[in-house]
């Protein structure tokens, strides 16, 4: 451990180090940050219709239709284009959108974004240079916002109750059968 001998190669010498492996990181990995890769609609992909999911989504291609990722984040990259409504917990827009952006938490519009439509969210960040033409509603009591995320909230509440039910101890099968048998047994009246 505390040897006075010098190593055969000097670590400060770059020629002595093994060649570095190129690290491949996609924009998806960088945006997510937690090691789980999001779904990606690539730059050369075009989707017509509804896109619905329960994971993070990055749109670098084109979507014509509704995008529903109500429990997660949706990022529309610089090459991304959406014609339709987008529902998400959080939205990051750097591309083109024509339609409604509806987020239960926050919408961030980056400087490269071009949006024509309506933004409905309780929190909005608009960077200098972003192009936006339309309406903004930041009322957290907005009917569209409430109705869009009502099912998500009630489903989460149902799942929480289900988890509590699973955590409670189950009734012993024999004990349950005895209780049922006692109820079904006729009484004998003593005369």
Look at residue 57 and tell me if it is in a domain. yes
Dist. CA 81–CA 13, nearest whole Å: 48
List the domain range (segments joined by +) for residue 96: 36-142
Model's pTM, two decimal places?
0.65
pLDDT at residue number 150: 84
pLDDT band at 18 (very low <50, low <70, confident <90, very high): very low
Look at residue 120 and tell me if it is in a domain. yes
Encode pLDDT of 102-159 as tens digits.
999 999 999 999 999 999 999 999 999 999 999 999 998 989 899 988 876 655 555 5
CA dist 57 to 30, 60, 68, 77, Å? 13, 10, 10, 10
Dist. CA 182–CA 175, nearest whole Å: 11
Look at residue 128 and tell me if it is in a domain. yes
Encode pLDDT of 39-75 as tens digits.
999 999 999 999 999 999 999 999 999 999 999 999 9
pLDDT at residue number 156: 56
Look at residue 40 and tell me if it is in a domain. yes
Dist. CA 12–CA 9, nearest whole Å: 9
Q: Is the pLDDT of residue 180 over 60?
A: no
Look at residue 7 and tell me if it is in a domain. no
Look at residue 77 and tell me if it is in a domain. yes
pLDDT at residue number 37: 87
Look at residue 70 and tell me if it is in a domain. yes
Q: Are 95 and 79 in contact (CB under 8 A)?
A: yes
Position with higher pLDDT, 16 vs 128: 128
Across the chain, what does the average pLDDT equal?
A: 78
Look at residue 185 and tell me if it is in a domain. no
Domain count, the chain: 1
């Amino acid at each position: 451990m505390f040897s006075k001998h010098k190593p055969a190669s000097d670590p400060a010498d770059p020629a002595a180090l093994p060649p570095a492996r190129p690290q491949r990181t996609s924009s998806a990995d960088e945006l997510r940050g937690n090691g789980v890769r999001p779904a990606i609609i690539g730059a050369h992909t075009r989707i017509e219709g509804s896109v619905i999911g329960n994971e993070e989504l990055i749109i670098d291609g084109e979507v014509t239709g509704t995008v529903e990722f109500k429990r997660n984040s949706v990022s529309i990259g610089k090459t991304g284009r959406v014609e339709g409504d987008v529902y998400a917990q959080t939205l990051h827009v750097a591309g083109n959108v024509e339609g409604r952006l509806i987020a239960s938490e926050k919408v961030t519009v980056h400087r490269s974004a071009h949006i024509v439509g309506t933004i409905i969210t309780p929190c909005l960040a608009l960077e200098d240079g972003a192009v936006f033409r339309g309406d903004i509603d930041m009322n957290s009591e907005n009917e569209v916002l409430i109705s869009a995320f009502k099912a998500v909230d009630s489903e989460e509440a149902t799942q929480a109750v289900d988890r509590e039910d699973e955590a409670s101890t189950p009734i012993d099968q024999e004990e349950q059968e005895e209780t049922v048998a006692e109820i079904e047994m006729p009484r004998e009246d003593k005369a």
